[in-house]
Amino acid sequence: MKKRTRILAALLALVMVLSMAACGGSDEPVETAGTQGESESGSGSQGGETTTPDGEKVVTIAMTSAWASWCPYFDSGNYTDIVSDQIYDRLWVTHKDGTVDPRLAESYEIDEDHGGMTIHLDPDAKFSDGEPVTADDVIFSAQLDTNPEFNSLKRDQMKYVAGTDNGGACENPDELGWEKIDDHTVHLTFKEVMSELNFLNMMNRYFYILPEHIYSQYSIEELNTAAPWQENMIGSGPFVYDTSIDGERIELVKNENYFLGEPQIDRLVIRVVQGSQLLSTLVAGEVDVIAGGGVATLPLSDWPTAQSTEGITAVSEPTWAYQAMIINTTSEKIPNAECRNAINMAINRQSIVDNLLLGEGVVVYAPFSDEHPFVDESKLTLPEYNPEKAKQQLEENGFDFNQTLELIVPTGNEVRIQSTVLIQQDLQAIGVKTNINQYDFATLMQMMRDGDYDLGMCGSAGGIDPTEPLGWLGPGTTQNFPCIQDYTYSDMFSATNSILDQDERVEAFVDVWQYLLDDSPVCYLYASNDLAAYNNRVQGVDYDEASQLNWKTWTWTVTE
């Protein structure tokens, strides 16, 4: 058994017994100004200024693709999450090792039978309009996310809550396993006795707390439109919406009364920058921080320059994130698992890592790298590169070599785009024709949900929770990109949740990963380090936190 598994078990045991502490803020409300789509800059910055004429401290973050929605639940991409992370709060700040720190949740206790947990909210937390954050807001947010009539794309993270189905939907909100104990205490009931790791990490990552007093006045039909979210944007986060230009930039002003501490940044600008221009805009002072966290990574060609540039701190951050090529299991062009498995064998992953990552990453076969506590590749039969066997297996299973497979890839991530070209060459070498098309991220996500593709490139932020890959593998989930029709994966992952001993759970996942490798609805490819950098005038940037979609901007400091 791997030593790191025992370390994880100790960490989790520590998390169960430690209480979390948070600091409070003052009681004055902050006014919100502006609506989505405003093109005027108002009193905002014009790019990379460190201060405005009135002495306002400005920090500009670069990401490589635009956010897709003002509602934090209407998109499954990290480009929206970096915006939502500033305006709204989640219960915890989650770390890569599975531990957590407080955000809205001041402390928690796990039920003795592991059937649920009690969560204590910070009594000092307030929304930006001055109203307190209470248990009612948590319950409202959970009921909204799980409402099958609400267009949430993050709902499947609720699938382990009592009262929900395999996709995280709950038909009757009275049966949902979120219960108010008092104004600042809620109890969460799990669907079954299970490890709480899923909730401390995966559910929390996408569970944004919304103000009931604002959004309860709208019907579900109204909440499924853009208008309520454009007109309000009231959250309890460290920053408050000010102005934006659609697809280009958003400007936020600090929440002076943020309960975890007033940010030292007066104005936070999140700006869309092409990947090839990230370093040049950073060096020119047009941006201060390259976001990391899967939303902005330096091209490898720029990495040596970033490391040697005075005044800039360059960071190579290993993550649990992974890149993959997803296969549409309903595509008539790829008729069965044997053909999918053959395509998986035809990909030269090591070539991608050697030629594109230049050592800043590792090959991945299962959803996570071999360094992940729940993956032990020595116990798996891996789909190692074997083009001759791959071609023979396709021939034996009736694959039509005269057809052309549609291979789609999102814009923005240059390494992913380049890896798509290498995969096209690998498939061409065994006689499989492909046609590569690029789409913006939101369009590609919808195409994959609709099954309007054959092969699709995608990535995930990953996480310590080994059930995270199920988001792509279960019917009824909002990210069932392989278009899987049965519940085999859902049942297999669910069976592991009741195993509380971590060593035993690692062993159980050997069978899960092997089935996934043999079935090959997803060809896992590589895990690349986040290559990012920031101007030294900004201190406190932590890319380990960003890898878990927690930027903690309220802790950043600025020197002039």
Supply the CATH number for residue 181's domain. 3.90.76.10
Arithmetic mean of pLDDT, 427-453:
95
What is the rounded CA–CA span in Å between residue 232 and residue 222?
Answer: 13
Q: Are residues 180 and 264 in the same domain?
A: no
231 is a domain residue: no
What is the rounded CA–CA span in Å between residue 206 and residue 406?
Answer: 31
**Dihedrals phi, psi of 196, to nearest 5 degrees:** -80, 0
Cα atoms found within 13 Å of the Cα of residue 215, Cβ hemisphere only: 32
Q: Give Cβ neighbours of residue 257 (< 8 Å, ≥ 6 apart).
A: 25, 26, 27, 28, 29, 30, 126, 130
425: domain CATH number?
Answer: 3.10.105.10
Instruction: State both tokens at 34.
Output: 């502006």
Residue 52: pLDDT above 70? no
Q: Identify the DSSP state of 72.
A: T
261 is a domain residue: yes
pLDDT of residue 199: 79
Q: Give Cα separations from 424 to 104, 185, 346, 456 (angstroms).
A: 46, 53, 10, 12
R_g of the chain computed on alpha carbons: 23
pLDDT digits (tens, 9 = 90+) for 139-154: 999 999 999 999 999 9
pLDDT of residue 42: 37
What is the rounded CA–CA span in Å between residue 84 and residue 308?
Answer: 33
Q: Are residues 267 and 414 in the same domain?
A: no
Helix pair 502-519, 3-17: axis angle to 10 deg: 120
Q: Helix, strand or coil for residue 420?
A: helix
If one counts the domains in the chain, the total is 3
Average pLDDT of the chain to the nearest whole number: 88
Q: Are residues 72 and 174 in the same domain?
A: no
Strand order in the sheet with 178-182: 105-110, 116-121, 185-189, 178-182
Report residue 51's pLDDT band, with 50, 70 and 90 as the boundaries.
low
pLDDT digits (tens, 9 = 90+) for 158-194: 988 999 998 899 999 999 999 999 999 999 999 988 8
pLDDT of residue 90: 96
pLDDT of residue 19: 35
Q: Helix, strand or coil for residue 369?
A: coil
Sign of the Cα pseudo-torsion (182, 157, 94, 380, in order)? positive
What is the rounded CA–CA span in Å between residue 104 and residue 22?
Answer: 9
Residue 46: pLDDT above 80? no
Q: Identify the DSSP state of 331.
A: -
pLDDT of residue 53: 62
Arithmetic mean of pLDDT, 408-426:
93
pLDDT of residue 310: 96
pLDDT digits (tens, 9 = 90+) for 495-504: 898 888 889 9
Residue 86: pLDDT above 90? yes
What is the rounded CA–CA span in Å between residue 464 and residue 199?
Answer: 11
What is the rounded CA–CA span in Å between residue 223 and residue 35?
Answer: 16
Q: Are residues 146 and 220 in the same domain?
A: yes
Residue 91 burial class via C-beta count within 10 angstroms: exposed 0-12, middle 13-18, buried 19 and up: buried
Report residue 12's pLDDT band, with 50, 70 and 90 as the boundaries.
very low
Q: Are residues 106 and 250 in the same domain?
A: no
Instruction: State both tokens at 347.
Output: 């990909």
Arithmetic mean of pLDDT, 458-466:
86
Instruction: State both tokens at 280.
Output: 């040049």
What is the rounded CA–CA span in Å between residue 26 and residue 126?
Answer: 9
Q: Helix, strand or coil for residue 398?
A: coil
Arithmetic mean of pLDDT, 359-369:
91
For residues 29 and 398, the model is more confident at 398
Report residue 451's pLDDT band, with 50, 70 and 90 as the boundaries.
very high
Residue 101: pLDDT above 60? yes
251 is a domain residue: yes
Q: Are residues 507 and 488 in the same domain?
A: yes
pLDDT digits (tens, 9 = 90+) for 249-276: 999 999 999 999 999 999 999 999 999 9
Q: Are residues 365 and 451 in the same domain?
A: yes
Q: Identify the DSSP state of 113.
A: T
What is the rounded CA–CA span in Å between residue 412 and residue 170?
Answer: 35
pLDDT of residue 277: 97
493 is a domain residue: yes
**Dihedrals phi, psi of 377, to nearest 5 degrees:** -65, -20
289: domain CATH number?
Answer: 3.40.190.10
What is the rounded CA–CA span in Å between residue 138 and residue 121?
Answer: 9
299 is a domain residue: yes
Report residue 49's pLDDT band, with 50, 70 and 90 as the boundaries.
low
pLDDT digits (tens, 9 = 90+) for 276-300: 999 999 999 999 999 998 899 998 8
**Dihedrals phi, psi of 551, to nearest 5 degrees:** -90, -20
Q: What share of the chain is helix, strand, coil (3-state, %, to 5)?
A: 30, 20, 45
416 is a domain residue: yes
Domain edge (last residue) among 197, 225, 253: 225
pLDDT of residue 48: 57
Q: Is 362 left (phi over 0), alpha (psi -120 to 50) or beta?
A: beta
Instruction: State both tokens at 106.
Output: 């001041």
Q: Are residues 52 and 166 in the same domain?
A: no
Arithmetic mean of pLDDT, 320-325:
92
Q: Are residues 107 and 207 in the same domain?
A: yes
Q: Helix, strand or coil for residue 344?
A: helix
Q: Identify the DSSP state of 126.
A: B
Q: Are residues 289 and 332 in the same domain?
A: no
Q: Are residues 329 and 405 in the same domain?
A: yes
- In sequence order, the β-bridge partners of residue 245 are 249
375 is a domain residue: yes
Q: What is the DSSP string of 365-408?
A: SSSS-TTSTT--GGGS------HHHHHHHHHHTT--TTSEEEEE
Number of C-beta neighbours around residue 361 at 10 A: 26
Domain edge (last residue) among 225, 249, 282: 225
Q: Are residues 344 and 483 in the same domain?
A: yes
Task: Identify whether the C-beta of residue 34 lies closer than 8 Å to the C-beta of residue 243.
Answer: yes
434 is a domain residue: yes
For residues 136 and 497, the model is more confident at 136
Q: What angle do CA 489, 492, 498 make, to 5 degrees?
A: 140
Arithmetic mean of pLDDT, 59-88:
93
Q: Domain containing 359: what range?
A: 322-528
pLDDT of residue 27: 30
Residue 303: pLDDT above 70? yes
What percentage of the chain reaches a pLDDT higher than 90? 72
